[in-house]
Amino acid sequence: MHELSLCESLLESIEDAAKREGFTQVRRIVLDIGPFAGVEISALRFGFDAVSQGTLTEGAVLEIHEGQGAAWCFECSQTVPIQDRLDVCPLCGSGQLQPSQGMEMRVKELEVL
C-alpha cells in the first residue's frame, strides 16, 4: 500500500526533526495534501495509526487539509484553479491543462511536547 510507505517516510522526517529540535512527543500533525497527490485520506489515516504505534507520534492527532489544485491552460496561457485532474479550464472550457500545483504532500504544522 502506497499510503503506508508515505506514512513511514512522514514518521522518519518527524523523528529527524525530533532529534534536531529535541522534542519527545508529538501532539498534533497538520498535513497539507494536494488534490492530485494521489493519496487516499482514509488509507493514510489507517497507515498512520499503524506506523505510529510505539513511536513519538503515538496518539497524535492527524489533521489533514486538502489544498487547492492549479493548472496551466495552454489556451489562456495562464494558471487556473482546478480541483480535479480531469477538470476543464474554468475560463475557456479547454481540456488542454497541465496540472502545476496540487501534487504535493507536506507537513504544515507540528505541535510537540
Residues that bind Zn ion (CB under 5 A): 73, 75-76, 89, 91-92, 94
Residue whose CB is less far from Zn ion, 23 or 72: 72
Burial class (CB in 10 A: 0-12, 13-18, 19+), 21: exposed
HSE (CB half, 13 Å, CA atoms) of 71? 23
Closest approach of Zn ion to the CB of residue 46, in Å? 38
Q: Using alpha carbons only, what angle is made at residue 23 by residues 20 and 24, rounded to the nearest 5 degrees? A: 120
Least spacing, CB of residue 37 vs Zn ion, in Å: 23
CB of 36 to Zn ion, least distance (A): 18
Instruction: Kindly tell me which of 54 and 93 has the beta carbon lying closer to Zn ion.
Output: 93
